[in-house]
A and B are shown apart, each in its own frame.
Chain A
Amino acid sequence: MINFLQNNIFYISAFGLILIGLFIMLSKRNLIKVIIGLSILETGVNLFIVTLGFLSKGTAPIFSKSGLDMQKMVDPVPQALVLTAIVIGLAVLALALSLAIRLYNHFGTLNLQKIKEQKW
């Protein structure tokens, strides 16, 4: 049991966050709830990408003092990709929320079914 947990706990957490985020996006009707689900989904995907570069009994990839073992450092390439992805996630959320504010000013409601039923 402890061995199973030690191997797989990070995969389970990333996988669980992706599924919960997808469920919020699919089944809720309020537009801002859908955007909250998008934010949780992005956090899960970033956690998954950083897990792929992990090395057991490794250290962080920084040469802070001399004489550090180079063979035991964690992979730096997924960390560079996730750094970019977090900032772009913020930009996408800000733009989506500004579109939600404009929709509210025009239709008067944020319920997706009522917006679909209104004809122009």
Chain B
Amino acid sequence: MIIIITLLVLIMFVAAIAALIFKDLISAVIAACIVSLIAAILFYFLHAPDVAMAEASIGAALVTTVFIIAIKRTKRYEE
């Protein structure tokens, strides 16, 4: 059990650092979506089912949609 949680936390850190490094903005947004999804799994391990549902539906789906529509109306690549 603790090994699974440690592996998930490591993947979350790698995804957050990838959001720092990528120059293509859409790839950075997808990395932030991965961070949100793994946070939803960690909320389940903390015995909080309501918060896990809210984070998975709002944080992972709707925030990514709003970001991609905003990037489409401005530039795609960071200089």
Contacts and interface: CB of A to CB of B under 8 A. Distances in A.
B42 A39 contact: no
Contacts, number: 124
The dominant DSSP class at the B interface is helix
B2 A83 contact: no
Nearest to B49: A60
Contacts of B32: 36, 39-40
A89 B37 CA distance: 16
Nearest to B8: A13
Nearest to B79: A111
The dominant DSSP class at the A interface is helix
A19 to B, nearest CB: 10
A32 B71 contact: yes
Contact of A104 (B17, B54, B74, B79): B74
Contact of A97 (B54, B59, B66): B66
Contact of A90 (B43, B49, B62): B62
Contacts of A58: 47
A10 B43 CA distance: 10
A100 to B, nearest CB: 7
Contact of A59 (B20, B47, B54, B75): B47
17 contacts: A13-B12, A13-B13, A13-B42, A17-B35, A24-B19, A24-B20, A32-B25, A40-B19, A40-B35, A43-B35, A43-B55, A50-B51, A54-B46, A62-B49, A86-B55, A93-B67, A101-B70
